[in-house]
Each structure stands twice: as structure tokens, then as C-alpha cells.
Amino acid sequence: MRRRAPLVSIADDALPRRRFRTLFERIVALGNERLRESYQTTFWFPFDAPPSNLVETAALIVRERLPARRLRGVIGVEWWLSRMRTSNVKVDFHRDRDNALFDATGRTVTPVTSSLLYLTRSVGGLLAVSTAPPNPRAPACAPDPSTFEVVEPRPNRFVFFDGRLTHGVLDARNEVPLRRLPTQPGLRLGIAINFWHRRPVDVPRFTHSSHYRSLALGRRAE
């Protein structure tokens, strides 16, 4: 019997050690800046422009981990910081999409590839990916857990999968989030990097934003 190919590809030690350390320290130094709005604070980085911040520099490096077929027609990435406590997961299972386009037209357009670069380990907090659609009648819109393929967050681990797949985060007990659990120390930190064949509607460039300025590339070599 032919085995099914894994849904998620994993590349450990994705960034050179010094670059990873600098990126990690700068993101930790952001503290609570836009912590509650992390998932709504997204940026567009076109590959025909130079990187303007540490995340975009990292995106160029992890891009090399993708197979050629996943880069065909890709013109840039949309990225945002993924910061949460696994005792209080507030992101339901979903499929990535151009949200502004969907809100305006009802049309669903997904990225070519969804990916995450993890900065820390976490208590629980496995990434769960499924071919099944989100179930709006289930807690956290989760598909049947028997369909999940799960991945453990680890520092400097890059994971990527087809942008049409359903995914979400399990709680501190590695279960579908049902309720708030006793608070766990530390944040589960990562960066979502979605590879697109077109620019998502109304997603700004980092250079046109006032957020996360400490991530900007400076005169000092990074």
C-alpha cells in the first residue's frame, strides 16, 4: 500500500545561528507591542524590492527551503508575528486567504504556500494541519482530530504546507482549544510567512507602517 505524502514539510536550523539569535532577541524586545493585534498586523514584502527588516531578510533565506514548484509564479510574501499563550488560544482552525478580498467579494483566494518559522518551544501548542475543511459547528472550527498531522514548535524550525490546507494551534494540553486553561509561562513565538502569486488586498509594506520599528534594518550589520 502506497503511503500518503506528509502534509507538512520541516526544515530545522532554517537560519544561520547568529541571524536567528538576532531575530529572536528583537522580537522578544517588542514586548507587548500590538500583542493582541498580532494576527491582524500583516505586511507585504515583494521579492523585487530589498528587505526592509529582519523578518524579510529571514523570508529570503527560508525561501531557499521551498521546492521549485512552490516558487513558480510567487512574487512575494505576506508576514505577521504569531504570538500567543497556549493556555488561551484565540485563533480558530482556518485556511489562509486574502481576507480583504473575501470581505469585499466573498471570493476565496489562498496563498501558494503557508509557512511558519518558529522562535521558541511551547507548552503544548502543536501545529495541527488537515485536508478537511474547518467545521463551523465544532469547537474552534476544528475538523475531526483524526485527520490532523501535527508538528512541534522548536526554535529555528521552518515548516511549510499547501496554502489551501486547514490548520490551527492545539492548546497547552495539545487538545482542540475549548476554554481558557491555567496560564502558562512564556509565549509561543513564531512568524507566519505566506507565499503569494499576487499581493493580498490592502496589506501594507513594512516601510509604510509605524509598527515594530525595532525590527527595521539599521546601519549595523545583522
- Is 107 within the bounds of a domain? yes
Question: What pLDDT, on a 0 to 100 scale, did the predictor assign at position 2?
Answer: 60
Question: Is residue 214 assigned to a domain?
Answer: no
Identity of the amino acid at 41: T
Give 33-57 pLDDT, tens digit per residue. 999 999 999 999 999 999 999 999 9
Residue 60, in any domain of the structure: yes
Query: What DSSP string describes 14-46?
Result: -S-HHHHHHHHHHHHHTTTTTSTTGGG--EEEE
Domain count, the chain: 1
Q: Are 101 and 201 in contact (CB under 8 A)?
A: yes
Residue 95 has pLDDT above 60, yes or no: yes
How far apart are alpha carbons 70 and 68 in whole angstroms? Answer: 5
95 within some domain: yes
Tell me what the mean pLDDT of segment 93-104 comes to.
Answer: 98
* pLDDT at residue 222 tops 90: no
Whether residue 220 has pLDDT greater than 60: no
Summarize pLDDT for 15-24 with one digit per residue, the tens: 999 999 999 9
In a domain, 82, yes or no: yes
pLDDT tens digit sequence for 178-189:
999 999 889 999
Mean predicted confidence (pLDDT) in 72-85: 98
Q: What percent of the chain has pLDDT over 90?
A: 95
In a domain, 217, yes or no: no
Judged against a pLDDT cut of 50, whether residue 219 lies above it is answered with: no
State whether residue 95 is helix, strand or coil. Answer: coil
How far apart (Å, rounded) are the C-alpha atoms in residues 39 and 45? Answer: 17
Domain residue limits at 140: 9-200
Q: CA-CA distance, 222 to 216, in Å (whole number)?
A: 11
Residue 31, Cβ neighbours under 10 Å: how many? Answer: 8
Q: What is the arithmetic mean of pLDDT over 97-108?
A: 98
Condensed to tens digits (0 to 9), the pLDDT of residues 149-171 reads: 999 999 999 999 999 999 999 99
Q: Is residue 147 predicted with pLDDT exceeding 60?
A: yes
Average pLDDT over residues 139-144: 97
Expressed in percent and rounded to 5, the helix, strand and coil fractions of the chain are: 20, 25, 55
Residue 105 lies in a domain: yes
pTM, full prediction: 0.95
Strands 166-169 and 127-130: antiparallel
Q: What is the CATH number of the domain that holds 44?
A: 2.60.120.620
Q: Do 166 and 131 form a contact (C-beta atoms < 8 A)?
A: yes
Decide if 2 is inside a domain. no
